[in-house]
């Protein structure tokens, strides 16, 4: 069987691109000639018509449908998943989202997908070739079009197969810990706007655009007003604007088997696990609860074709054939064939370091031992040459560490769970760790394996002379040759330290407790390696720069330096909480 490949269909997001499956995946008697109906107009409830290519088996009878709704172009009619699925007894529908491709209406990300998805489902059910069963597929934003139309979809929705899926816009792509995901939102948002301003831009052009101030007028960087770009800045916390596109209050109404695919270095890594777990916990459907699966690999926003991800090689084991898995999934739930998926584990995770797959029955793992690793120094943890240490001994009286955060000279993004015009995945962090505004805490060299699998967070006791600022944290695996590679990271905006929707400024020089969510990982620190944590106040351009002024978000053209202090003593025991697996 040929391996899954991914191609870019927008400058920053990727979706599944099909390679042909071997016929052995399906029963030998399911080969059909294919009829293609191009640019079929599907009416929505407001009479706007969305365009779709419909691929059908040339045969009498009724068939299950597989639907993909995309803003990236529904593709051609010559090959790909449409002809493949139709030749094997499915009707495949590839539809342009509202206002995209050949579809009518106005394009605004997220807003219309739940309604348009439901209307498209109903159209499918009304067709003479429909047997009343629908499955959905696709990656990234095409995953969002699946998730948002799933609540209360009815028994006709039999299966979902979202790959690296966006699920909930506010938490997934807009804001993290109160900080704006600048590179992603500006890059992707501008790219799908239909405006020509960014065409042909090089990296220097993007770096200048990312520095646009004030952020409330950031669309001027692309030379055209795009209202939704401004709206994203105007709504920095979860409010009615974001709630209309959210599924957070609707997950109990999802009653469909889901096979979700993601990667430890994908920007949706945390979201996929959280949302699948929420459906598993709250769904009104026992059938759905029993058939929810997550496949987590060592990937970024797409599946590696050769095992290489970022600057690391995870080996051939990291390459999987999603086509075959998806075919079995749909055969089971849409055709009623015994494809063996009932025996699949709820979670199949790739354990980095060992570079092996492992099946698990729960997430986080029930056997997890959450263990604090405390920060230590004599007051000079700045840079990788400083005196910062990391161990399980709680600190007594120790000098605090200090640095100056200058938003005009932010710490550069060097990989991670991001997407856009900056490095993605695992990369050497030496350049960041050479900076005076990065505190570095490192363990002794390990003499035995140390497995970290699960959610990771940092508890930080810190003060600033500003009324608002940011704190960043990063978990790093230091290899025996000294190269430090990032595993997971996070950020917290000080004004959001207590509430994600009711921000409050800080008092200058007052010590506050911050909880920084570093999301998730699965990695074995091998003998000879070291565990490292980086603490700073910026990660640019992945996140916007906090100007340290305390002014309303997006309004600042002014940038101020901030004097930052990180405490690690008996009263303020800053630490990283690692999910250790015995």
| Contact indicator for 489, 477 with CB cutoff of 8 Å | no
Residues 6+ apart with CB under 8 A from 142: 15, 16, 68, 69, 70, 72, 162, 165
Query: Which H/E stretch holds residue 576?
Result: strand 575-580
- Determine the 3-state secondary structure of 331 from DSSP: helix
| Contact indicator for 529, 162 with CB cutoff of 8 Å | no
Three-state SS sequence of 476-542? EEECCCCCEEEEEEEEEEHHHCCCCCCCCCCCCCCCEEEEEEEEEEEEEECCCCEEEEEEECCCECC
Inter-axis angle of helices 182-191 and 227-234, to 10 degrees? Answer: 160
Task: Identify the DSSP state of 275.
Answer: H
The residue assigned the tokens 């290519």 is: 53
- Would you say the C-alpha torsion 41, 44, 50, 53 has a positive or negative sign? negative
Integer CA distances (angstroms), 73 to 39, 70, 101, 332, in order: 12, 6, 6, 29
Cα distance between residue 177 and residue 499, in whole Å: 10
Q: Which residues are catalytic?
A: 140, 266, 301
């Amino acid at each position: 069987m040929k391996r899954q490949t991914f191609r870019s269909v927008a400058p920053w997001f990727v979706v599944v691109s099909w390679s042909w499956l071997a016929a052995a995946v399906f029963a030998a008697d399911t080969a059909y000639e294919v009829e293609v109906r191009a640019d079929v107009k599907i009416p929505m409830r407001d009479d706007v018509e969305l365009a779709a290519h419909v691929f059908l088996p040339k045969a009498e009878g009724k068939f299950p449908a597989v639907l993909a709704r995309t803003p990236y172009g529904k593709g051609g009619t010559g090959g790909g998943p449409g002809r493949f699925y139709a030749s094997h007894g499915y009707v495949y529908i590839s539809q342009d989202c509202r206002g995209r491709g050949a579809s009518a209406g106005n394009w605004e990300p997220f807003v219309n997908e739940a309604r348009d998805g439901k209307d498209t489902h109903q159209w499918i059910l009304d067709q003479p070739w429909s047997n009343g069963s629908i499955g959905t597929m696709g990656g990234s934003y095409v995953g969002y079009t699946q998730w948002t139309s799933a609540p209360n979809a009815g028994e006709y929705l039999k299966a979902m197969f979202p790959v690296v899926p966006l699920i909930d816009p506010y938490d997934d792509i807009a804001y993290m810990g109160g900080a704006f995901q600048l590179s992603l939102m500006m890059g992707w948002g501008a790219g799908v706007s239909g405006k020509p301003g960014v065409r042909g831009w090089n990296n220097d052009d993007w770096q200048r655009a990312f520095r646009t101030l004030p952020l409330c007028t950031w669309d001027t960087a692309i030379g055209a007003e795009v209202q939704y770009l401004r709206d994203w800045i105007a709504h920095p916390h979860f409010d009615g604007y974001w709630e209309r596109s959210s599924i957070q209050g609707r997950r109990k109404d999802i009653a469909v088997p889901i096979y979700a695919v993601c990667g430890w270095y994908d920007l949706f890594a945390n979201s996929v696990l959280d949302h699948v777990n929420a459906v598993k916990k709250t769904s009104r459907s026992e059938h759905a609860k029993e058939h929810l699966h997550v496949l987590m690999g060592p990937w970024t926003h797409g599946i590696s074709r050769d095992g290489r991800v970022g600057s690391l090689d995870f080996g051939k084991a990291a390459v999987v054939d999603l086509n075959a898995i998806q075919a079995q999934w749909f055969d089971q739930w849409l055709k009623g064939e015994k494809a063996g998926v009932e025996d699949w584990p709820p979670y199949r995770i790739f354990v980095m370091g060992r570079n092996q797959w492992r099946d698990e029955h729960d997430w986080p793992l029930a056997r997890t031992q959450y263990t604090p690793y405390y920060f230590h120094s004599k007051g000079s943890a700045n840079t990788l040459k400083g005196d910062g240490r990391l161990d399980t001994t709680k600190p007594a009286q120790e000098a605090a560490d200090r640095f100056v955060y200058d938003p005009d000279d932010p710490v550069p993004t060097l990989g991670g769970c991001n997407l856009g015009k900056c490095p993605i995945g695992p990369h050497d962090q030496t350049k960041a760790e050479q900076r005076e505004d990065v505190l570095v805490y490192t363990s002794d060299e390990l003499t035995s394996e140390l497995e970290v699998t699960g959610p990771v967070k940092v508890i930080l006791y810190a003060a600033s002379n500003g009324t608002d600022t940011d704190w960043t944290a990063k978990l790093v695996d230091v290899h025996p040759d000294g190269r430090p590679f990032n595993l997971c990271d996070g950020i917290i905006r000080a004004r959001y330290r207590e509430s994600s929707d009711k921000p409050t400024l800080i008092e200058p020089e007052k010590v506050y407790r911050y909880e920084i969510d570093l999301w998730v990982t699965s990695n074995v620190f091998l003998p000879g390696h070291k565990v490292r944590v980086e603490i700073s106040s910026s990660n640019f351009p992945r996140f916007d720069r906090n100007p340290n002024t305390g002014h309303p978000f997006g309004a600042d053209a002014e940038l101020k330096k901030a004097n930052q202090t990180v405490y690690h003593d008996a009263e303020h025991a800053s630490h990283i909480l690692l999910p250790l697996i015995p």
